[in-house]
Amino acid sequence: MLILCSPSNPTGSVYPKKLLEEIAKTVAKHPSLLVLSDEIYEHIVYAPAAHTSFASLPGLWERTLTVNGFSKASAMTGWRLGYLAGPKHFVAACKKIQSQVFYDPLCSLQFAKI
């Protein structure tokens, strides 16, 4: 598994699209390589940088799990509400683990308007 964090904390660095495309070429050479792309800071990017989701690159959706959430961009860091996006079979496997490890979000969070 290759883990990417872009945009990154604490540096604020963002992988340019061109670099992500080069990484994608390397990933393509290794058919069993899965990518976990942590994109929780996608909405906290400052010009001239621009965020590109790794899963949006050609041929990468099928091999990428994207981790994101609402906490960082919505100033709700203590609420820890996030999500995973990816191909159905990978998400189904992750759901089995998640259901045994985590609990429901806070009651107040369930009624919050984002």
Quick: pLDDT tens for 51-92. Answer: 999 999 999 999 999 999 887 777 776 777 778 889 898 888
End-to-end CA distance of the chain: 32
Domain locations along the chain: 2-110
Q: What's residue 72's pLDDT?
A: 75
Phi and psi at 56, nearest 5°, equal: -80, -10
Distances, alpha carbon 92 to alpha carbons 62, 70, 72, in Å: 14, 21, 25
DSSP annotation of 6 = S
- pTM for this one? 0.78
Q: At the top level of CATH, which class does the domain 2-110 belong to? A: alpha beta
DSSP-derived pairing of the beta strands 82-85 and 2-5: unpaired
Q: What is the pLDDT of residues 5-52, one digit of tens each?
A: 999 877 778 999 999 999 999 999 999 999 999 998 888 888 899 999
